[in-house]
Amino acid sequence: MAKLYFNFSAMNAGKSTLLLQASYNYQERGMQTLLFTAAIDDRAGLGEIASRIGLSAHAHIFADDLDMFAYIEAKQQAGPLHAIFVDEAQFLSTEQVWQLARVADKLKLPVMCYGLRTDFQGKLFPGSEALLAIADILREIRTICWCGSKATMVARMDENGNIVDEGAQVVIGGNQTYISLCRHHWLERQLSPTKTEDITCTPAEATVG
């Protein structure tokens, strides 16, 4: 039975790398995949999924007005299709998440979504909230805070490198705008260690992936 998956993490955990690798694994076995990314995120170019380690692939774009079920159904009718991959899934609307659930249930296609869980204020994105509620499989992709503990939060910085607490939920940016932190240092608004802090961590805390 096909399932709806949500692979979530903080920033810079390698979500796009894992998506591209998983899609490649399908293609290597002669299977066809359909990739999506958000129209709002054009950092790598419109309709491009790119990882920090240099992997990239072209993708179809989604905005709020795209009926994901109808679009994917038409693609399936046009030719063989074996899996759906969605990058930046936090930008899906609630309705689109339900459409993707129908893709898994009615079209019998596995749907793998990758995205952030929360924004810079610690609040769920609408797409992430819906995925956490109805996805069949939830998988956390781990990354680490500067202290070595698991990073679960995302902080947004202004042009001077200071953490900001207010503003629009969606502001597209990379490492110069966002940093992943553990909950403790996100609450403390601390972006780096002080001279007296010991930032060593146990192997279990440092595990990524």
What is the reported pLDDT for 200?
A: 46
Q: Which residue ranges of the chain lie beneath pLDDT 70?
A: 42-45, 167-176, 194-209
> What is the bridge-based pairing of β-strands 153-157 and 163-164?
antiparallel
Is residue 73 flagged as an active site residue? no
Alpha-helix runs per DSSP H in the chain = 15-28, 68-78, 94-106, 126-134, 183-187, 203-206
What phi and psi, each to the nearest 5 degrees, are found at residue 74?
A: -65, -40
Asked if residues 9 and 141 have their Cβ atoms less than 8 Å apart, the reply is yes
pLDDT (0 to 100) of residue 121: 86
Task: Give 2's Cβ-side CA count (13 Å radius).
Answer: 17
The residue from 28, 48, 73, 88 that is catalytic is 88
What is the pLDDT, as a whole number, of residue 54? 72
pLDDT of amino acid 18:
92
Domains of the chain: 4-206 (3.40.50.300)
**Measured CA distances, 143 to 8, 118, 134, 152, 206 (Å):** 11, 14, 24, 8, 8
